[in-house]
């Protein structure tokens, strides 16, 4: 896949939709492609996370239990795994295993930090994306709290 294909793949990820093309070019240029066979482990639960992964093809199972039982959480092309790792030091909350032959693009945190410095408009955009998500999550949590309180009464 070429650089323009990588940029196009990033443009359709909700987190990056609206980020200027030159910032996406920098991310795409520094990204690393990886091919996985069915059963290959991309990363394990509890490992330090230094990057996110964009699923380009195939299917990746995310297993938070890590006990060998089947997981129902499977993601496919266009999904960004480990988004938080792009911006903050964290540990992997789940093990990621290829369910079938798959390809992913590794997006290193160091590159995203560089983008935030060199492309202020991209930083503003990403801040707005995460602020909206946090507001939505806060609303969802408030609704759950109200529902629990009404059950307790």
49-65 tens-digit pLDDT: 999 999 999 999 999 88
* Residues of the domain holding 90: 3-152
CATH code of residue 148: 2.60.120.10
Q: Structure pTM?
A: 0.86
Residue % of the chain over a pLDDT of 70: 97
Given this model, what pLDDT does residue 140 score?
Answer: 86
Place 68 in a pLDDT band, splitting at 50, 70 and 90.
Answer: low
Contacts of 2 (CB under 8 A, 6+ apart): none
Total tally of structural domains belonging to the chain? 1
Closest by CA to 128, choosing from 17, 6, 25, 52, is 17
Residue with tokens 């964290």: 90
Chain mean pLDDT for the chain? 91
Read off the tokens for 32: 């690393």
Given this model, what pLDDT does residue 6 score?
Answer: 92
Taking the CB of residue 31, how many other CB atoms lie within 10 A of it?
A: 23
Given this model, what pLDDT does residue 100 score?
Answer: 97
115-131 tens-digit pLDDT: 999 999 999 998 888 88
**Measured on CA atoms in the order 82, 84, 85, 86, is the torsion positive or negative?**
positive
**Do the Cβ atoms of 15 and 79 come closer than 8 Å?**
no
For residue 105, the cross-strand partners are: 33, 54
Residue % of the chain over a pLDDT of 90: 70
């Amino acid at each position: 896949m070429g650089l323009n294909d990588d940029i196009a793949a990033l443009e359709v990820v909700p987190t990056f939709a609206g980020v200027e093309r030159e910032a996406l070019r920098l991310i795409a240029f520094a990204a690393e492609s990886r091919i996985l066979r069915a059963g290959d482990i991309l990363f394990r639960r509890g490992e330090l996370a230094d990057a996110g992964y964009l699923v380009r093809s195939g299917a990746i199972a995310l297993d938070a239990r890590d006990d060998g039982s089947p997981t129902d959480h499977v993601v496919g092309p266009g999904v960004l795994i480990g988004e938080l790792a792009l911006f903050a030091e964290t540990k992997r909350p789940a093990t990621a295993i290829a369910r079938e032959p798959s390809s992913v693009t590794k997006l290193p945190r160091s590159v995203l930090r560089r983008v935030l410095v060199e492309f202020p408009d991209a930083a503003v955009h990403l801040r707005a994306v995460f602020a909206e998500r946090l507001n939505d999550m806060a609303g969802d949590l408030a609704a759950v709290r109200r529902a629990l309180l009404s059950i307790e009464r």
